[in-house]
Amino acid sequence: MLDLCVLGALARGESYGYEIAQRLEAGGLGSIAGGTLYPALLRLERLGLVVADWRAGDGGPARKYYRLSPDGTTALSSAAADWAVFVDNVTAMMEVP
């Protein structure tokens, strides 16, 4: 769930962890703590869905920039389709007719 939102946030352009958290919060998903976000980013990196490289910080510590890999892009669009179906089913189940 969180992983897919992170992929979606990265679909808006490459970014680093701290800024991804801000994108997610701006998207209404609440504040995602570092201890939640960074393990998710490491998972996605190990799965090959995102690729990362370190860059010097702009007034602050170095940043690790993440961007979608081709696998990540296809995983995101396939997950988005699955998500739409799942949402339709769950919403129908939760609404009392």
Partner DNA sequence: GTGACTAGGTAGTGGTGCTACCTTGTCCGC
Partner DNA sequence: GCGGACAAGGTAGCACCACTACCTAGTCAC
12-51: contacts with DNA (CB under 7 A): 16-19, 30, 32-36, 38-43
Beta strand ranges found along 40-79 (DSSP E): 50-55, 63-68
Gyration radius of the chain's alpha carbons: 15
Among 56, 81, 75, CA closest to 7: 75
Stretch that binds its own copies, among 1-9, 34-42, 44-52, 57-65 (CB under 8 A): 1-9
What CA–CA distance (Å, rounded) separates 73 from 10?
10
Taking the complex as a whole, the smallest distance from the CB of residue 32 to its own copies amounts, in Å, to: 12
Taking the complex as a whole, the smallest distance from the CB of residue 97 to DNA amounts, in Å, to: 23
Which residues are at the interface with its own copies (CB under 8 A)? 1, 4-5, 7-9, 11-12, 24, 27-29, 76, 79-80, 83-85, 87-97
